[in-house]
Amino acid sequence: MEKRGILGKENLDDLKRACDSIDKTLVRKIEEYESSRERRAPVEIQDVEEISDLQATFGDFTEEKAQDNTYKMNSKPRGYCLIFNNFDFQQARKERLEHQTLKDRKGTDVDAEALEKTFKELHFETVVFRDGTAKQIYKELNTFQQKSHEDRDCFVCCFLSHGDRGIIYGTDGQEVAIRDMTSLFTSSNCPSLAGKPKVFFIQACQGKAIQRGITLYTDSEQQRKLLEIDSWVPRECIPNEADFLLGMATVDDFISYRHITEGTWYIQSLCKNLKERCPRGEHILDILTEVNSEVSQKMDLSNKGKQMPQPRYTLTKKLFFPIK
């Protein structure tokens, strides 16, 4: 403020206004300084020193406020990152008539590898589960619910699967409710994660409708043929308590896209932006906004289909994933 010419021994109004919105005691200190200046002859060096003291006090206070507004994220590992990667749906096609058209999820391994690499770089302990039935998924989640997370600052869980409204499918075609999975990690069900961020990324459709868009550019016919669809949509998927973030691949009632060799639009954009933006000190909601922007610009030209991801959250602080 001093360098910009808005703070000096004769001009403390801006500093008082800033302090007034933060802590009244800082305003009183400034007023005491002004009163003491009026009672004595100017002493330039002393004035400068007292202004510096006020700046230091104000700086220390704002730094403490910033820390209070940010989730702690310095444990190593930061926490567990679970990745449920469902590719083979042969059992679902065999055992359930309604799932005869449920394809194997080509390209999902590319997503799983990207997530594992990204979260390892962000200092998470990654655990990958492949081709889990509904029962197996619940079993693994219960295992990590019962673990102690006392020495960890966060919990991340990623699902790559088919699904429908409010659920994902196990490879046996049985439903796993998103709300049931997230609720396992509430503060009452998993006390060692109380007050800590619980982050879930869900790659699957949220219905069968196609979002329509206007064609702004062209793509090759080969690229169109390589696109497939994941199926699903959430009901109320996030618990009614603080510190949850649910990153959805698409909004309610619509499909999401998966490239059979390059992975899904959403997960690939998510990993790319985490890698680029976490080192810059950007917080997760800003990063997910950029993911929204990138994915929304893509198009399935064969259907003029679009995709818009959607974050849902009850976070109470800013969430950063530092790389150091």
Tokens describing residue 253: 């009632």
Q: Tell me which amino acid residue 156 is.
A: V
Q: Tell me which amino acid residue 239 is.
A: P
Q: What is the mean pLDDT of residues 218-232?
A: 44
CA distances from 18 to 26, 60, 149, 185, 246 (A): 10, 14, 39, 40, 35
Say whether pLDDT at 156 is over 70: yes
Q: How many whole angstroms from its chain centre is CA 109? A: 21
Task: Enumerate the active-site residues.
Answer: 162, 205
Say whether pLDDT at 252 is over 80: no
The edge-to-edge listing of strands for the beta sheet with 256-259 is 227-230, 256-259, 263-264
* End-to-end CA gap in the chain: 30
How do residues 66-93 score in pLDDT, each as one tens digit? 578 999 999 999 999 999 999 999 999 9
Residue 81 contacts residue 126 (beta carbons within 8 Å): yes
β-pair partners for 176: 168
**For position 133, what pLDDT does the model report?**
98
What pTM value is reported for the model?
A: 0.74
